[in-house]
Amino acid sequence: MTPQTMTPQTMTPETIPSRPAAFLMHYMRRRPWQFGGLFTTIVTAAVCAVAVQYAMKLLIDAMASPDRQAADVWTPLGLFLGFIATENVLWRLGGWLGCRTVLATGVDMRLDLFQHLTGHSMRYFSEHLAGSLGNRIASTETAATSIFRTLTWNIVPPCTDFLGAVVVLLTIHWGMAVALVFFAAVVAGAIVYLGQRGRAVHHAFADQTARTNGELVDVVSNVWTVKAFSARGRERERLARAFGVEAGAHRRSWMHLEKTRVVHDACLWVMAGSMLLWALLLWQSGSITTGDVVIVSALTFRILHGSRDLAFALVSATQQYSAIAESLRVIARPHDVLDPVPALPAVPGGGTIAFDEVTYRYPEGRRVLDRFTLTIPAGQKVGLVGPSGAGKSTIISLIQRLDDVQRGTILIDGQPITALAQDELRAKIAVVPQDIALFHRNILENIRYGRPDATDEEVFEAARHAFCDGFIRQLPEGYGTMVGERGVRLSGGQRQRLGIARAFLKNAPILILDEATSALDTQSEKEIQLALADLARGRTVVAVAHRLSTVSTFDRVLVLVDGRIAEDGSPSELRRRRGGMFNTLWQIQAEGFAAE
Supply the DSSP symbol for 344: B
pLDDT mean over 12-30? 82
What is the model's pLDDT at position 261? 75
Residue 417: partners with Cβ closer than 8 Å, 6 or more residues away = 399, 401, 410, 411, 425
Summarize the confidence of residues 143-147 as an average pLDDT.
91
Range 398-415 average pLDDT: 91
Residues facing 374 on adjacent strands: 355
Q: What is the pLDDT of residues 262-303, one digit of tens each?
A: 877 777 778 777 877 887 788 777 777 777 777 777 777 777
* Model pLDDT for residues 55-103, shown as the tens digit of each residue: 887 777 777 766 666 667 788 888 888 989 998 999 999 989 988 999 9
Which DSSP letter does residue 548 get? G
Question: Taking each helix axis from N to C terminus, what angle separates 20-30 and 74-118, rounded to the nearest 10 degrees?
Answer: 110
Q: pLDDT class for 4, splitting at 50, 70, 90?
A: very low
List pLDDT tens digits, range 341-391.
888 888 888 899 999 999 998 877 788 898 999 999 999 999 999 888 888
Determine the pLDDT at residue 1.
37
Residue 38 has what pLDDT? 92
Contacts of 438 (CB under 8 A, 6+ apart): 446, 483, 486, 487, 490, 495, 498
Contact 288, 173 (CB under 8 A): yes
Mean residue pLDDT of the chain comes to: 82
Cβ burial of 226 (10 Å; 0-12, 13-18, 19+) is: middle
pLDDT band for position 159 (50/70/90)? confident
**pLDDT of 10:** 39
Q: What is the C-alpha separation between 37 and 25, in angstroms, rounded? A: 16
Higher-scoring residue by pLDDT: 546, 24 = 24
Per-residue pLDDT at 525: 64
Q: Per mean pLDDT, which of 94-108, 424-438, 567-581 is the most reliable?
A: 94-108
Question: Could you give the C-alpha distances from 85 to 48, 90, 317, in angstroms and in order?
Answer: 9, 9, 31
Enclosing H/E stretch for 564:
strand 564-569
Per cent of the chain over pLDDT 70 is: 90
Output the pTM of the full model. Answer: 0.72
What domains appear along the chain, each with residue ranges and CATH number? 1-11+346-428+510-520+540-580 (3.40.50.300), 17-331 (1.20.1560.10), 434-507 (3.40.50.300)
